[in-house]
């Protein structure tokens, strides 16, 4: 996790994205991350947000999920939360829930925690 400010989405969208991050944290007990091109610059097609869950928690939510073939529950939750984020932020958010071991193995890029400011009382 890096602590640089979000430069890719601009203001006030960054504030709305932070608020969405707090909602995800409240629901799942884990902060989501801004990843991909929007985490590193202003040239992006969509805004990638990932909720990375410890393997055990992921497996409890999605017991039959193969990392290569997500199931209907996973797809519906990701689609619904992507749409909620789009409504709340005005950004084309691609929200996905990932198993921690898979995320760490396959996606080493920068991760900017969303919603962390209010979580720490700041």
d(CA 86, CA 17): 9
Which residue matches tokens 């799942």? 28
Q: What is the pTM of this model?
A: 0.86
Pairing between strand 112-113 and 33-35?
A: antiparallel
Q: What is the pLDDT along the chain (122 residues), one digit of tens a residue?
A: 444 455 678 888 889 999 999 999 999 999 999 998 788 888 888 899 999 999 999 989 988 766 667 688 899 999 999 999 999 999 999 999 999 999 999 988 889 999 986 555 55
Domains and CATH numbers, the chain: 13-119 (3.30.460)
Residue 7: predicted pLDDT:
60
């Amino acid at each position: 996790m890096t602590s640089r400010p979000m430069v890719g989405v601009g203001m006030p969208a960054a504030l709305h994205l932070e608020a969405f991050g707090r909602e995800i944290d409240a629901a799942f007990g884990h902060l989501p991350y801004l990843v991909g091109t929007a985490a590193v610059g202003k040239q992006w097609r969509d805004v990638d947000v990932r909720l990375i869950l410890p393997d055990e928690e992921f497996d409890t939510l999605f017991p039959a999920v193969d990392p290569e073939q997500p199931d209907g529950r996973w797809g519906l939750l990701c689609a619904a939360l992507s749409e909620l984020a789009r409504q709340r932020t005005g950004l084309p958010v691609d929200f996905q829930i990932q198993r921690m071991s898979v995320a760490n193995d396959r996606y080493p890029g920068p991760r900017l925690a969303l919603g962390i400011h209010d979580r720490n009382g700041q």
